[in-house]
Chains A and B, each alone.
Chain A
Amino acid sequence: MANYILKRLWQALICLIGISVIIFFLSHLSGDPVLLMASPEATQEDIEELRRTLGLDKPLYVQYWVFISGVVQGDFGQSIKWSKPCIDVWLSRFPNTLLLGSAAMAFSLIVGILTGVLSAVKVGGWFDKFGKIFALMGQSLPVFWVGLMLILIFSVNLGWLPTSGHGSWKHLIMPAFTLGWYFTAATTRLSRSAMLDVLDSEYIKMARVKGLPEYLVIMKHAFRNALIPIITLAALNLIMLLNGTVITEVVFNWEGIGRLVVDAIFARDYPLVQCCVLIASMLFIATNLFVDILYAYIDPRIHYH
Chain B
Amino acid sequence: MKGVKLAVAVGVFALISVFLVSYSFSAETGEPKGKFTYVSPSGAWEFKQIDPHTIVGSSAQEPSRILFDYLLYKDPDGQLVPDLAEKWEISPDGLKTSFYLTKKAKFWDGTPVTAKDVKFSIERCMRPELKFLRGGQLRRTVDRVEVVNDYHVDVHFKQFDPAFIDVVAEYLAIMPKEYTEKVGDDGFAEKPMGSGPFRLVSFRADAEVIAEANTNHHRKVPYIKTVVLKTVKEPATRLAMLKTGEADMIFLFPGHIPEVQKDPGIKLMWTKHAFLRTLIYYDMGFPDEPSPFKDKRVRMAVSYAIDREALSKLLYGAVEPWGSFLAPYHPGYDPSRTPDPYDPKKAKELLAAAGYPNGFDTVFTGHITEPTLWQATVAMLNEVGIRARLDMPEAGTWARYCTEGKFRGIGYGAGPWWAGRGPGSCLEAHVSGFWAPEGHPYPELKESIENLNKAILKGPEEEAKAARAVDDLMLEKWTRRPLLFSNVVFAAGPRVESYQNIPGQYWAFRLEYLKLKQK
Interface contact B396-A151, CB-CB below 8 Å: no
Q: Contacts A82-B47, A83-B48, A164-B241: A37 and B400 contacting too (C-beta < 8 A)? A: no
Whose C-beta in chain B lies nearest to the C-beta of A162? B246
Chain A contacts for B403, CB-based, 8 A: 35, 47
A239-263: contact bitstring with B at CB < 8 Å (1 yes, 0 no)?
A: 0000000000011110100010001
Docked CA distance A46–B136 (Å): 5
A145 to chain B, nearest CB (A): 10
Docked CA distance A279–B418 (Å): 39
Chain B contacts for A92, CB-based, 8 A: 205
Interface contact B396-A155, CB-CB below 8 Å: no
Interface contact A163-B241, CB-CB below 8 Å: yes
Q: List the one stretch of B66-74, B126-134, B142-150, B452-460 in contact with chain A.
A: B126-134
Chain B contacts for A41, CB-based, 8 A: 134, 137, 163, 425, 429, 433-434
Q: Contacts A37-B131, A40-B429: A155 and B236 contacting too (C-beta < 8 A)? A: no
Docked CA distance A148–B236 (Å): 7
Docked CA distance A81–B55 (Å): 10
Interface contact A81-B240, CB-CB below 8 Å: no
Chain A contacts for B24, CB-based, 8 A: none
By CB atoms of chain A within 10 A, which of B54, B237, B433 has the most? Answer: B237
Interface contact A40-B400, CB-CB below 8 Å: no
Docked CA distance A83–B131 (Å): 10
By CB atoms of chain B within 10 A, which of A36, A83, A92, A268 has the most? Answer: A83
Interface contact A40-B435, CB-CB below 8 Å: yes
Q: Does B15 contact A (CB under 8 A)?
A: no
Interface contact B243-A156, CB-CB below 8 Å: yes
Docked CA distance A41–B243 (Å): 40
Q: Does B233 contact A (CB under 8 A)?
A: yes
Interface contact B244-A53, CB-CB below 8 Å: no
Q: Does B395 contact A (CB under 8 A)?
A: yes
Q: Contacts A37-B56, A41-B433, A266-B395: A53 and B246 contacting too (C-beta < 8 A)? A: no
Docked CA distance A159–B243 (Å): 10
Q: How many residues belonging to A are interface residues under a CB distance threshold of 8 Å?
A: 44
Q: How many residues belonging to B are interface residues under a CB distance threshold of 8 Å?
A: 50
Docked CA distance A268–B189 (Å): 23
Docked CA distance A40–B136 (Å): 11
Whose C-beta in chain B lies nearest to the C-beta of A47? B403
Chain B contacts for A268, CB-based, 8 A: 396
Q: Does A31 contact B (CB under 8 A)?
A: yes
Docked CA distance A53–B56 (Å): 14
Which one of A30, A37, A148, A255 contacts B206 once the chains associate, using CB atoms below 8 Å? A255
Chain B contacts for A43, CB-based, 8 A: 136, 140
Whose C-beta in chain B lies nearest to the C-beta of A33? B396
Docked CA distance A30–B398 (Å): 11
Which one of B58, B396, B416 contacts A30 once the chains associate, using CB atoms below 8 Å? B396
Docked CA distance A45–B433 (Å): 13
Docked CA distance A243–B48 (Å): 25
Docked CA distance A189–B206 (Å): 39
Docked CA distance A204–B243 (Å): 57
B185-206: contact bitstring with A at CB < 8 Å (1 yes, 0 no)?
A: 0000100000000000000111
Docked CA distance A255–B134 (Å): 30
Give residues 144-159 of A contacting B (CB, 8 Å).
148, 151-152, 155-156, 159
Whose C-beta in chain B lies nearest to the C-beta of A81? B46
By CB atoms of chain B within 10 A, which of A39, A45, A50 has the most? Answer: A39
Which one of A37, A165, A250, A266 contacts B57 once the chains associate, using CB atoms below 8 Å? A37
Interface contact B233-A253, CB-CB below 8 Å: yes
Which one of B46, B236, B394 contacts A151 once the chains associate, using CB atoms below 8 Å? B236
Chain A contacts for B231, CB-based, 8 A: 253
Known: A253-B233, A266-B395. 15 other contacts (CB 8 A): A31-B397, A32-B396, A40-B57, A40-B415, A40-B429, A40-B435, A46-B137, A50-B136, A54-B131, A82-B47, A151-B236, A252-B237, A253-B232, A266-B394, A268-B396
6 interchain pairs, CB-CB under 8 A: A32-B400, A39-B57, A53-B128, A81-B46, A148-B236, A164-B232
Interface of A with B (CB < 8 Å)?
30-33, 35-43, 45-47, 49-50, 53-54, 81-83, 92, 148, 151-152, 155-156, 159, 162-165, 250-253, 255, 259, 263, 266-268
